[in-house]
Structures are given as structure tokens and as C-alpha cells.
A and B are shown apart, each in its own frame.
Chain A
């Protein structure tokens, strides 16, 4: 029985639960933050313009969780995290649901995930909170709210952002794992993270027993960027492959987008404008900095300062340099030299790239225009990016370049309209596109594919593009939010170990050429979901002196099953055998189905048919046992 619960409607920020051999495994817990777009930006200084915008609600200090009470989350045994973007809801689960299990993730995932959470908490907590409202969550009140809030579903599930102590508590429940490490869960299931090629430490997961294999593919990339390449070979022979986290921009080519990013950036700066890049503090930014490192000299930008502003900017840049083992081959080779794997080390050394925890303090002294600023949050709703949008939005010399694919850039910009600033959309999403998916599926050939329903139909805005969906045979099983699927496979066998002493006592018998049988009567021990067969213990010898007093001392202790019998008894040989053993008055009568052998003196009758033998006798145990053993000689035991 393998059930698959889907708790998230967002295919790139999945949250699925798998019940596998009585183990409940949560696969990822992504935090869908698109609902923040319903709110106004959180500026550092109250802006009269923003507060007066019609049709928008000003709300501070909230972020949102997309979860349902489909199952009791306290029953979840383990959580497997595939990459740092997919763990942002972790504190909500580990700190609010009674969860007592273990979380598994790779070291880079945990470290960078911590940075992302820290940035999120920091940028929300530092904004002064006038008051916190919750009335609006009430259904009645919500009805009165303007579009789109009125239509938002599951508003009651929207939650306040977690705090740093909660983040720390959540992260302390994580156990670090390495790629291809086999982790035993309760002896019943083995889980293994595999490199997925998408981000530092990002992983796909194999969940398997001896006989079944489920692959969970989430956020994978076949492009060569900085992380270790995707491990495809280990996904082979899966019974079920759960496919999530494909590219959100299937029509955009990441390489082309990077080129466009660079040329737009160069053009703006050359014209004396500033460039704003709303981004996460880790991930694509490393690739962008590397591209710029190669590009700036040829583009004549060597004197333009690059600013990276985030409470975790320094940590992110430092951490990126220490995960040599999780990097692609080229970068690993650099570490062996030893040189820092990412060239942003050199950008920092030569003062071309500067990083600041926030726009306060040193930054205001160093700030020189024109410049390029990388800062968060990509939703433009909180973080220092809000400030720069306000600062630069009025001039057409400036450009904002969107590279993160998680948010609709038009929705993100809406509260800032009208905007004189140029807006360029270069979404860089290195995750698998549909062409790569069909190649991958052909390569690894899973028996069944399970995916979110969004992937089984063309995108709503491009309904003619039938190439933008998963195409495989048999067609994928799709799930939607809050749906439970029963996965289509059944196991027939289980592993069991035969102890050497028992093995030694077995007597194999060749029944047919190449097939041997041995009957096994043994004691089954099951511990920690592992089964072992042992020799039955020798019956304790009753002390000879002690007389049995009670009749039921005699009752057979174990209901020892006798083997099944097969074969047939050739009457002539049987009679000969009887005679050899001293039965002189054997008489044989033919019946419709077989024979009756009569032992007249012993008043015993043996009915022999093709598939049965029936011995009818007086209560003469020695005689019965003798006859029994003679019959058994002609039969095979199973």
C-alpha cells in the first residue's frame, strides 16, 4: 500500500507525502510565497504614495503557508529535502505540528537554506510593525475585500513569518547526509540522496526496499552550471518516478537569458543608469557573477561597482567557496590547485564586488552611481529591493532586470506603477524542460511516472503548445493539490535471512532438472523490520526421574505443521513393500477411482487413489505409524 498525498499545489515548491512500507515520508516542504504578491511592499520608511494606492491592502509582517490538514503531520516519520528552496516551510512543520521525526538534507542545502530563512526573517522583522491584523482572515471579512484577495483560497492557511529561534530549532532536527549515502529507516526502507545538478547540494531521492524503488525527482538540471552534475544512472529501474520541480519558464533558454542579462546590464550602465537585480542570496547569483567576471573587462565595465546587499551576502559568498565536494568537475579541479572555486573571490579582492548586510552603515558611504545592485527579495515586497525600486523607479536611465523565475514580474511591479525605469525580464531557470524530461524518462525508463497535473497539459496561456507537457508511455499519473493517489505496484516478496546453522540442516532435493527444493521448518524472528529464520530450539528433555503427573503435560507444544505431500502410490509396489514388512494377508480390490488394500487380520483398510490415501484402522498406534511411514516412502514432501 503506497499512498501519495499531495499537500502543495505549486509544482516547483512541492510538498508530498509518501506512505511506504508503514513509513510516512514527507518529500520537501516548499513555501509558496506567491501570495505575498497580494500585499503591499514593506518599505523601510512609510511611503505616503504606497499607502494610498487603491485596491491594495497594506499589511505588514506576514508570509504564507500553503498546507492543508489532509493528514496528521505529527505522524510524519521523516522529511527528505531536495534543495534549499524546498525547505522554506520547515519551521512550520517541525515547530507547529507535533512532528517528532528526523529531517534529512545535505550540508549545502542546510547551510544555504539557513541563509535564505535568515534573510527572510531579517527583512520582515526589521520593518517596524504598527499593528498586526488577522481579522481579514475571517471568511466574512475576506468577502468584502477587493480582488484578488477576495478570491484567494485558503486564506486561513496564511501564516505569519517564523522567527529565528524557530528556524534554529527546525534546522537542529536535520541530519546531514551525503550523496549516495544509504540511510536505513526503521530497517524497512532505505533512502538515498542523489545529485540533481540544480543547486549546491540539491538532491533527488531514491526510496526503496529490497523489491520496490520509488524515485523522487525534484528540481534537477542537466545544464552545466556550478553544482555537481545530475546522477541519472541511479534512477534506473524505478517502479515509480515522482517528477516535480521542472522549469517554470519552459520557453526560455537559460544561456540566451544570461546573454541578454549581460547586454542589458552593460547598456544601462554605459548610459549612466543603474541596474537593479532582485534576487535570492544564493544560486543563480553565483553564475551571474561568474558571467560578469568574464564579461566586464571586454564590455569596459571594470570601473562600475557591483553591490550585493543582503543580511547574508557575506555568508553566502563565503559558503559557496567551501563546498568543493558538491561542485562540478571544473570547480573541483580549481580547489585542488588550491584556488577558490568561484571567481567572485577575485571580484571581491579587486574591490569590483562589494557586499553589505543592508543599505545602512557602510553602504551609504561607499555608494557610487552608476552601479549594479543585487538584492532581495525577488517578489519586490520586502527586503532592500523595495528601497531601490522607490529610489530608481522614476528615472528611465535605470533598469530592473528580473532573473528569478518564481514570481510574475508584472505582478511584482504592479504596486510601483507608473514606473519610468526600464524593466527587463530574463528569467533564468536551469531546471529540466520538457524535452530534457522526455530524454531523461527514455533513459531511466520508470514503470510509472507520477507528476503534478500542471505537467500533463500545456500551460494555460499557451494551450496550443502541446510540446510543453510530459509525454511518456504509459501516460503519467497526475495529482492535484490535496489529492491522494494509490501508487500502482505490488510487491510479492520480502527479504529474509536464513541463519547458517539452519542452512546447514536443510536437505535440498532436486525435483525437476535445475530446480531443487528443501522444506524449511524454522522459527521466524522479526526485529526492526528484519526477518531471520533460525533453527527451532531443541525440545527440552524432561528430567527422567520426574513422573508426568498431569495428562496435559503431553499436549503437543507447537502446532508443528507437517509438509504437504505430492505424488501417487503405485499399488503393486506398495503391496510388495507391505509383504516385505511382514503383512501376509494383503488383499487388493479395485474401485472406480483406485484401489483398496485390505489387511484382513489387522482389520485395516487403505484406500489409494490418484491424489489421496486414506488409512482406516483400529487404534493400534505402532501399526498406524508403520503403515504411515511405508506410504510416505512413495511420496514427495513439500
Chain B
């Protein structure tokens, strides 16, 4: 009896509740390589990479999150700036202790850009992962096409070996489960994920990862301002324990989009007017459509005749994806698509290689966007020598690419075969990347109300600035791990239990109007059996255990000096108590006794001294406080004034 009593915590650390201590076990079983892991944490760690300094740029996204014992990989990107092993994340960090499939509960891909999904076939087919991979429908549709395109450039054109094959891309995509927006996907019994609209490119999504009452939100890349073809990112007030947000434009508050667009159109227009050619290197999907819509409407309005082309293959196909996934575009396009599909361009025609040598002005959208290979590079070489021409880089260029070189002012480029290319054409940079700027990031934090924020996918200096801003404004902890670093965030979840409806109703019935100043205590018994926790009334607990109640009763004799008759004394006591105990039910019963709630008071004359009355105050242990108070109150005697 009582011998095993010890102070047990219900929190996770000591796992007093077996069901809740699970997280701990998972790590031990798998002999995870993480540094010391406390069970009550949502843990986030960057996958370490062999490339030194890679953590400082926007090259590649691949994040590992451990939450309540579940391990989830967020994105599986590759680095565009490298052509060797460094382009893929180093998965040996995980595999040194076993297979990926055993360790990871699922993989989530936020959108189709290669810096977020480019390493996927390598990861699943070459390193080996057979678990589920989640992405939205448009991402699932477009991702394999970009992967195949990327593979072709790397293997077929550059002749690299030891790269994933077409078949591997297909096999990898078979492991993909497509998710709807806002659909709650039950990965297993405990782990669920939910996608939110991110607006960065077609099908881009933010993901909420939830286990029990702990949750993490991963934004991927997102855009908080709607543009010409996509809507703005949106999330509900889901109050995650941790928000992992991209921070590409952490310090920028970009000038108004209208200004940028006007600038862009002006430059294109001027070049075309003076008979020059405009090259716009783009990635097939994303900004290409935004700029096409922009130019299309401008050409329409200005009644311009100069031809606009987009390079064959991908972009044409890409527009088709936009038509079929029109429900993912912005409200306006969705509303009017029956009358006029914004992705059916009147002025923009498919490009043929021969057109590049045509005389006269033209505008050409060509892939890829960083001028590192393919058609855009070919056209660039043809046009670079003429100062009438112009190249407009509408997005970020990774170090090492031709795009990056010309943007950093280089005008003499060494091409293959030691050829020197002199760049006389005008070079313009115009940021049309659909990333949230600092304002947008703050806005998202306001929407989601996270308890902690973690910045990724940005440059260290800019992130530091944003981190301070976030901590100041929202008073939440903000982290910015370097590549390969593990961040541990402590959560303190409350514990869900089942309460018997009888007990709950009894409690809510008494206190219909909650009083802030006088909180009412509820009393129950928490029964813990086989990992189930039930809060029941003490009576029910006794009954379920087959035990009888033991009643502990006290009866105190209180002596009062009062010469009056017994019933008069009783009446005086009654009036006195009634006056003092305003919040309690005090009753004078016909048999001459008094009750205060369930406490009984009877008066008898003292056997020897008629001037003394004996009050018998009787209460059970459950009324201990009140009983004890009553005796001390009565001991002080009755006030003289009462008649």
C-alpha cells in the first residue's frame, strides 16, 4: 500500500506514460547518427554536404526533420553550380547506420524546381529508398520532365556517366503519392501531412507535418504576393512548434512589382524599336509563363508586330501543363479561362533554330535560365556580338554559369575549344523570382503563429538580419543552422486523455459561468492502464477497481457560552453562519439542526452547565476545509449584536 509511490513526471523525458515515450525508443533502435537526442524535441538538421561552404547559398534544399520519433526528409534538391559529386546531398549521413527506407518515414517535395527535387532519382534509385514520396499533382506531372531534361543535358550532351537513367526517373516517380491541397494525408497512424498553396511556381506547396499535437511547417519556396498567373501563398493559424521558412530574399523589400514590370517592358520595347533582338533565358516553367503573359498583354495593347518566340519543346509543353492545371493558377485566370485561356498566346510562337539568323527585331524566350547549356546559350553566342541586342536575365544565376559571369560584369568569355566570346550586347538583370521578401516572410509568420522559426535556403548574412527582426517582432526563437548542423528545438506538448462525459458534464454544469478570479477546481482520478489514460470521477475509479469507499468523518464538540434556550441558540448560530458564509448553502432544518452544504451542526445543552451549549459539528473528509473553518469560526463565539 503506497510502497511503490514515487514522483513520476508525465512529460516525455522519463516516459512515465509509455505511449508517449516512444520517440526515445525509435532513436535507440535505429542507432541514429544524430548527436544526443532528447525525446521531447522536434529536431531539424541540415543534411551535411561534402561541398565546403555550400550552406551559404541558395543552391540546394534537403532538410531532415525528426518530430516525435518520426523522420521526414523535406525536398531532395541538387546544386546547379557543380558538375561532380557535390551536386547531390551526401546521404551517407543517414545510410552509415542502415537503409534510408528504414530510417525515413516519408519524403516530401515542395515543388518541381531542380534545386528542390533534382536529386530525387539518385536518392531513391541509386542510394535506395522505397518509402513514400509526397508531392502535389502538378509537381508530380512536371518533375519527371525536368529531371529527364536535366539528365539529357548531363549525360547525352556532356557525356557524363554514373548518373541516373530515364528508367530510374520512371521508377522513382512510381513511388510518388500525389496530394491535394489541404488534404490530410495519413502517412502512418501517427504521422500526418497537409499541403498549403505556396504560389512560387505551378503546384508549389508548403507542408505541415504533424505527429500528435506536435507539428512543423515547411514552406519550400513561396510568394506572398499574387502575380499575373499565380495566387499568393496562404496558411491558416496552425500554430506549429516550428516553422521552417526559405529566406532567399531575407533582406530585400522589393520595389513594387509594377515598377519592375514597367522597366522590363520599356527595355524590351526600346530594343525592339531600334531593331535589336532580345534574348530572355528562362526555365521552362515558372517565370517563363509570367513573362509571356506580361509581353502578350503588352504586345496586344501596343499593337506591336515584332515576333515573340519561345524555344521549342519544353516551354510549349509547359504551357499545356498550365492549361490543364489551371485550378492552381490565380483567381482571375481561373475565372476567365473558358472565354480566354491565358496560356493560349496569340503573339508568341514556337521558335525554330533557323529564326535566330532572321534579320530584324524579335524577342526569344529560351531555356535554360542560367545560360549554362542548350538553346539559350546557342542563341546567346550568336547575338552576343551585336550591341543593338539585349539579354535579360530574369532570375538568380548560380556561380559558375555563363549567366552568373555576364551578370558579374565579365565581357570576355572563354567558351569550349578556347574560343573567346566578346559580349557586346546589353546585359540586364531583373528579379522576377517569385520568392517571398522580408515583408512576405514576416506576413507568413503572422499567419501561422509558430512557436519557433528556422531560416533556410538563404545567405547567412541576410538571414542574420531577418532573424533579429523576427525575434524582435514576434518574440519567438529563431534559428539559422549552417549546412550539416543539427538544431534541436524543445517542445512541451500537453497530454491528451479521455475524460468521462459524466465527470465533464458534472463540472461544466456547476460552473456555467466561469469566474476568472475564483477558478473552480475539478477533481478526478486519472487511470492509467495499457497506455490508455482516462480521467474519471473518483467514484467511478473506485467502482472500476472493485473497491469500497472508506468514509472518514469528524465530529467536533464546540462549547458556546449562551444562556438562552437551545432553539434560540441554534437560531443565533444559524443567523451568524448565514451572515458570514454568503456563498454557501446554509439551512435550518425542522429537526433543529443546521446544515452548511453537507456539514451537520446540532446543539445540545451541556450536561452540567446550563449556560453552556455544546455544538456538535460533523463533516466528512471531503468537506475538510469547510469543516475545519466552521469549528474555528464557532469557537470564536457568537457576535453579541445578533438577537
Q: Which residues of A are in contact with B by a Cβ distance under 8 Å?
A: 107, 177-182, 192, 210, 314-315, 318-319, 321-325, 332, 335-336, 338, 340-341, 491-500, 503-504, 506-512, 514-526, 531-533, 536-537, 551-552, 554-569, 610-619, 621, 624-625, 628, 631-632, 634-636, 638
Contact = CB atoms under 8 A, between A and B. Distances in A.
B501 A493 contact: yes
Given A514-B529, A618-B557, A494 B498 contact: yes
Interface residues of B, number: 101
A516 B534 CA distance: 11
B499 A621 contact: no
A519 B495 contact: no
Nearest to B183: A180
Nearest to B628: A621
Contacts of A621: 628, 631-632
A-B pairs, 4 with minimum CB distance: A503-B10, A178-B180, A564-B538, A638-B538
Contacts of A520: 522-526, 535
B551 A496 contact: no
B554 A628 contact: yes
Contacts of B137: 324-325, 332, 335
Interface of B: 1-2, 4-5, 7-11, 16, 137, 140-141, 144, 178, 180-185, 194, 213, 317, 320-321, 323-327, 337-338, 492-502, 504, 507-508, 511, 514, 518-530, 534-535, 538-539, 541-542, 545, 547-559, 580-583, 597, 621-626, 628-629, 631-636
B550 A494 contact: no
A235 to B, nearest CB: 14
Contacts of B194: 181
Contacts of B501: 491-494
A279 to B, nearest CB: 20
18 contacts: A322-B323, A325-B180, A332-B137, A335-B324, A338-B324, A340-B324, A493-B500, A499-B494, A503-B494, A510-B4, A514-B530, A551-B633, A565-B552, A610-B548, A619-B559, A625-B628, A635-B550, A638-B525
B556 A497 contact: no
A518 B528 CA distance: 8
B16 A559 contact: no
Contact of B521 (A180, A515, A521): A521
B534 A522 contact: no
B519 A318 contact: no
Given A324-B325, A500-B494, A564 B539 contact: yes
Given A517-B526, A619-B556, A564 B549 contact: yes
A115 to B, nearest CB: 10
B498 A503 contact: no
Given A520-B526, A551-B633, A635-B550, A181 B519 contact: no
Contacts of B626: 556, 559
Nearest to B555: A616
Chain B's interface: helix, strand, loop or mixed, by majority? mixed
Chain A's interface: helix, strand, loop or mixed, by majority? mixed
Given A522-B522, A559-B597, 16 more contacts: A181-B180, A324-B325, A325-B137, A495-B496, A497-B213, A498-B497, A508-B16, A516-B528, A518-B528, A521-B523, A523-B520, A524-B508, A562-B625, A565-B621, A614-B555, A619-B635
A573 B558 CA distance: 30
A498 B495 contact: yes
B580 A325 contact: no
Nearest to A338: B320
Nearest to A603: B557
Contacts of A533: 522, 535
B582 A181 contact: no
Max chain B CB contacts within 10 Å: which of A321, A514, A561, A567? A561
B622 A561 contact: yes
B552 A631 contact: yes
A522 B321 CA distance: 57
A132 B512 CA distance: 55
A612 to B, nearest CB: 4
Given A496-B496, A497-B496, A322 B327 contact: yes
Contact of B548 (A332, A524, A560, A566): A566
Contacts of B520: 523-524, 558-559
Given A315-B338, A556-B625, A612-B553, A561 B492 contact: no
A503 B9 contact: yes
B521 A565 contact: no
B179 to A, nearest CB: 9
Contacts of A563: 523, 525, 538
Contacts of B549: 564-566, 611
Nearest to A614: B553
A227 B229 CA distance: 27
Contacts of B597: 559
B631 A558 contact: no
B183 A526 contact: no
A531 B494 CA distance: 12
B504 A181 contact: no
Nearest to A492: B501
B557 A619 contact: yes
Contacts of B547: 566-567, 636
Nearest to B556: A619
B16 A322 contact: no
Given A515-B527, A515-B528, A567 B504 contact: no
A201 to B, nearest CB: 11
Contacts of A558: 518-521
A340 B178 CA distance: 19
Given A180-B185, A563-B538, A497 B508 contact: no
A557 to B, nearest CB: 6
A324 B629 CA distance: 73
B550 A500 contact: no
A598 to B, nearest CB: 15
B451 to A, nearest CB: 13
A512 B545 contact: yes
A556 B635 CA distance: 17
B521 A551 contact: no
A491 B501 CA distance: 8
Max chain A CB contacts within 10 Å: which of B504, B554, B622, B626? B554
A195 to B, nearest CB: 10
